[in-house]
Copies of this chain bind each other. A is one copy, B any other.
Amino acid sequence: MDPHLLTTFVTVARCGSFSAAAAELGYTQSAISQQIAALEADLGLPLLSRRPVEPTPAGRRLLEHAEPLLLRLRAARADVLRSAAAPRDRIALAVTPLGFTAALADRLARARAARPRLEVTVVTCGRERVAALVAEGEADLGLVDGLAAPSDPLRPPDAGPMTTAGVGEEDVVVALPAGHPLAGRAALRLADLADARWLRTPLCPLSRLRALVGDGFPVALEHRGDDVRTLIALVAAGHGLTLLPATVLGGAVAGAVGVPVSAPRLVHRVELLHGTLPPGPAADLARALTG
Which residues does A use to contact B, with CB under 8 Å?
Answer: 1-3, 43-45, 57-58, 61-62, 64-66, 68-69, 72-73, 75-77, 79-81, 83-84, 158, 160-161
Contact = CB atoms under 8 A, between A and B. Distances in A.
Given A3-B2, A3-B3, A161-B64, A58 B76 contact: no
Copies of this chain, whole number: 2
Given A62-B76, A64-B161, A81 B43 contact: yes
Contacts of A58: 80, 83-84
9 contacts: A2-B3, A3-B3, A44-B81, A45-B81, A58-B80, A58-B84, A65-B76, A68-B161, A69-B73
A81 to B, nearest CB: 7
A257 to B, nearest CB: 38
A45 B84 contact: yes
Given A43-B81, A45-B80, 20 more contacts: A1-B3, A1-B77, A2-B2, A43-B77, A43-B80, A44-B81, A45-B81, A57-B83, A57-B84, A58-B84, A61-B80, A61-B83, A62-B76, A62-B80, A65-B72, A65-B80, A65-B160, A68-B161, A69-B73, A69-B76
Contacts of A72: 65, 69, 72
A288 B60 CA distance: 29
Contacts of A81: 43-45
Contacts of A3: 1-3
Contacts of A76: 1, 62, 65-66, 69
A66 B80 CA distance: 11
A182 to B, nearest CB: 34
A84 B46 CA distance: 10
A85 B72 CA distance: 27
Q: Which of A58, A73, A158: most chain B CB closer than 10 A?
A: A73
A64 B43 CA distance: 28
Nearest to A62: B80
Contacts of A65: 72, 75-76, 79-80, 160-161
A58 B45 CA distance: 38
A132 to B, nearest CB: 16
A45 to B, nearest CB: 5
